[in-house]
Amino acid sequence: MPVEEFVAGWISGAVGLVLGHPFDTIKVRLQTQNTYQGIVDCILKTYRHESVLGFFKGMSFPIASVALVNSVLFGVYSNTLLALTATSHQERRAQPPSYTNIFIAGCTGGLLQAYSLAPFDLIKVRLQNQTEPRMQIGSSEPRYRGPVHCAASILREEGPQGLFRGSWALVLRDTPTLGMYFVTYEGLCRKYTPEGQNPSSATVLVAGGFAGIASWITATPFDVIKSRMQMDGLKGRKYQGMLDCMASSFQQEGIRVFFKGMTLNSARAFPVNAATFLSYEYLLSLWR
């Protein structure tokens, strides 16, 4: 089993994560709190109340976990393609796999990624939603003192299953959309690359960026439900389950609720995934 894909997936994921985290914090707050009037209002309030540090809340745990999560995604994707087509990453330019096989491999990577991501993502969302400014004498103490305290509190108060709250919505968000992510990336690379050659850096950047946008636009409805399910349980249970969360969100806020955070998801997706694919392809070319 080629391990380079796992390592390249880890490093490229970390690069993308740091670039995209401020967008992600604003998006999570807009999806789960109804106190903001829009993107600009949320950015201004976060900055005034919590300084620039507010945008980076909840980032330490994803940085630690991106090794696992992104290497699972890229490693499983590439090794599933190897099993389906008997071609390694290097051979795939000369013998391009079918889009059906790329889709199946992407969905498999997405499914396994979702399971490894679930507890880390839940802790990230809980920390991102803490709006108390850090280290100010006299200000109220945030509920969680950091990722480890957050994980321990969830385990104590909500049990081990509490760490997997929202994981069904996460699986539904990531499985089909990651199939689409790799199909879009490969499709654009092939369209703008002469046959048998490797795509240029510019092509990789653009194809990666658009793959990110396409997948995040389609992922947004389940992303909203996932974030709400993850916040449920903090102050008692509001939803009976995923379907109840979908129905009551729809009843209270209309169809618009499923598109909350879509603009930010798309704006974040381009730079994050352009950087992710560029570093992934670059690292694999170094080890060839």
Ligand X SMILES: CN(C)C(=N)NCCC[C@H](N)C(=O)O
Interface residues toward ligand X, by CB under 6 A = 13, 16, 20, 173-174, 177-178, 181, 212, 215-216, 219, 269, 272-273, 276
CA distance 211 to 237: 36
CA distance 164 to 114: 10
The least distance separating ligand X from the CB of residue 62, rounded to whole angstroms, comes to 9
DSSP summary character for residue 280: H
Nearest CA to 30 among 266, 257, 269, 270? 257
- The answer to whether 57 and 127 are in contact (CB under 8 A) is yes
The least distance separating ligand X from the CB of residue 16, rounded to whole angstroms, comes to 5
Report the half-sphere exposure of 61 (CA within 13 A, side-chain side): 21
Nearer to ligand X, 155 or 267 (CB): 267
Nearer to ligand X, 39 or 267 (CB): 267
Nearer to ligand X, 17 or 246 (CB): 17
- The residues, any chain, with a CB within 8 Å of residue 231's CB and separated by 6 or more, are 32, 125, 126, 129
CA distance 249 to 256: 10
- The answer to whether 267 and 43 are in contact (CB under 8 A) is no
The least distance separating ligand X from the CB of residue 91, rounded to whole angstroms, comes to 24
Q: Provide the 3-class DSSP secondary structure of residue 139.
A: coil
- The residues, any chain, with a CB within 8 Å of residue 17's CB and separated by 6 or more, are 59, 62, 63, 66, 272
Nearer to ligand X, 174 or 186 (CB): 174
CA distance 69 to 264: 22
The least distance separating ligand X from the CB of residue 261, rounded to whole angstroms, comes to 12
Nearer to ligand X, 133 or 271 (CB): 271
Size of the chain in residues: 288
The least distance separating ligand X from the CB of residue 164, rounded to whole angstroms, comes to 17
Torsion sign over Cα 276, 81, 100, 93: positive
The least distance separating ligand X from the CB of residue 196, rounded to whole angstroms, comes to 28
Nearer to ligand X, 42 or 73 (CB): 73
The least distance separating ligand X from the CB of residue 17, rounded to whole angstroms, comes to 6
Nearer to ligand X, 222 or 234 (CB): 222
